[in-house]
Amino acid sequence: MRVTTAFNRMLGLPGAWVREVAFGEQAVIVTVVLRVKKPVCSGCGARGLKVKEHRIKPWRHLDLGGLRCRIECRLRRLYCPGCGDVYEMVPWARAGSPYTRDFEDLSAWLAQQMNQTQVTKLMRIGWESVGKILERVVADYLDEGRLDGLRFIGVDEVSYGADHKFLTCVANHETGGIVWATEGRNAASLKAFFDGLTDEQKASIKAISIDMSAGYEKAITEAIPDAEIAFDPFHVIQLGAKACDRVRRDEYNRHGRSSSSEGKWIKGTRYSLLKDTTKQTTRQLLKLAEVVLTNKRMYRAFLLYGELRYLYKVPKHEAAERLEAWLSWASRSRLKPFVKLARTIRKHKAGVLAAVELNLSNGRLEALNSKARLISHRAYGFHSADALIAMIYLCCAGIQIALPHR
């Protein structure tokens, strides 16, 4: 068998045939010829454009054994009124990419499974290249219809980078997928989401769950005043945990901190107060029993926090009454952090109950939240928000990448 024939079979590049194969020191260079007769703009697909010149363009393809594989092809440079100076379209690579589609798809598939550092090592490319590949693959695979017919959505922020930058993510409660993400975490970030929707898409949204403390509320009431606002249970519970821990820290400070044995003991009660009792170790439970016997303020904080969590487990019709009871208990608790929290929740009561009523389950959002956070961790090397957003779409928007040659 001739070498070119062998490479034709091995590479399986669509729309091309192999003319020549050369072995360099670092790479196998495969020169191919494009089968298409009439050139098509790689940017927009326009035909009948003026050919300006011919140039050889290289692409990195999947490695052949230990060797890198470079595809080279003589292409026509075109002038497109819409896209400017561009190469003609080739079926084996995305527009503007120095990699073949197979190479990019494999990289993106790996990025879904593993840490980015491993992807860079395995594929022998840099961080920045992975980021750009992901952006192209996501733009290609992301379902354009994902913004149609949304009914219940959740908006949340995800922090990334060492200097605490933020992304705003919009999730579809019914599918559990992230449908949109952008930089920032204020009303303007969310406004950009609504601005991108058609009137029909906006009209289908019935309810939106958000974090009580973030500035998203304004953007919602301005864009879709008819949508119901629900306050995400996950964040409400988190506020309860914070109040409970504040009470413990106040007690710690009051009891001479780590200089007294009591202060030291208080320091060690953290998990007994915050962790679900069914998940506590025997030691933690024993400590909790000590709290019950010796520190009324901390015990009260523990009970208040537990009751707040319980609000999301009772039958819907009991929720309003229970919340009312919790609010008056917390306001009278003489624990400053809970008095303050009761004031905040009272102000947002309708939204807290809406979340219970609509059953915008925190489980799903919580899972998505931690997944997005994990991704931003795994992708710590991404300095650009666009690459991270691509990564979040890739892993949380239900994108399924077909592996090359499978």
Nearer to Zn ion (CB atom), residue 48 or residue 225: 48
The helix/strand/coil state of 165 is strand
Does the footprint of Zn ion cover residue 95 (CB under 5 A)?
A: no
Q: Running DSSP on this structure, what letter comes out for residue 274?
A: H
Task: Provide the minimum distance between the beta carbon of 188 and Zn ion in the complex, in angstroms, as a whole number.
Answer: 32
The residue within the footprint of Zn ion, chosen from 27, 44, 241, 339 (CB under 5 A), is 44
Which of these ranges, 1-9, 73-81, 144-152, 210-218, lies near Zn ion under the rule CB under 5 A? Answer: 73-81
State residue 214 phi and psi, 5-degree precision. Answer: -80, 165
Residues 342-381 that bind Zn ion (CB under 5 A): none
Nearer to Zn ion (CB atom), residue 44 or residue 142: 44
The residue within the footprint of Zn ion, chosen from 27, 46, 241, 339 (CB under 5 A), is 46
Torsional class of 12: left (φ above 0), alpha (ψ -120 to 50), beta (otherwise): left
The residue within the footprint of Zn ion, chosen from 14, 24, 82, 126 (CB under 5 A), is 82
The helix/strand/coil state of 260 is coil
Nearer to Zn ion (CB atom), residue 80 or residue 223: 80
Does the footprint of Zn ion cover residue 43 (CB under 5 A)?
A: yes
Nearer to Zn ion (CB atom), residue 39 or residue 154: 39
The residue within the footprint of Zn ion, chosen from 64, 83, 241, 385 (CB under 5 A), is 83
Nearer to Zn ion (CB atom), residue 44 or residue 303: 44
Task: Provide the minimum distance between the beta carbon of 84 and Zn ion in the complex, in angstroms, as a whole number.
Answer: 8
CA distance 170 to 196: 13
Task: Provide the minimum distance between the beta carbon of 240 and Zn ion in the complex, in angstroms, as a whole number.
Answer: 55
CA distance 135 to 137: 6
- Judge whether 89 and 42 are in contact, CB under 8 Å: yes
**How many residues at the interface with Zn ion, by CB under 5 A?**
7
- Judge whether 375 and 391 are in contact, CB under 8 Å: yes
The residue within the footprint of Zn ion, chosen from 13, 32, 34, 41 (CB under 5 A), is 41
Residues 6 or more apart whose CB falls under 8 angstroms from that of 399 comprise 112, 138, 141, 142, 143, 393
- Judge whether 319 and 353 are in contact, CB under 8 Å: yes
Task: Provide the minimum distance between the beta carbon of 89 and Zn ion in the complex, in angstroms, as a whole number.
Answer: 9
CA distance 377 to 242: 23
Nearer to Zn ion (CB atom), residue 40 or residue 288: 40
Crossing angle of the two packed helices 233-254 and 362-378, in degrees rounded to 10: 70
Residues found near Zn ion in the complex (CB under 5 A): 41, 43-44, 46, 80, 82-83
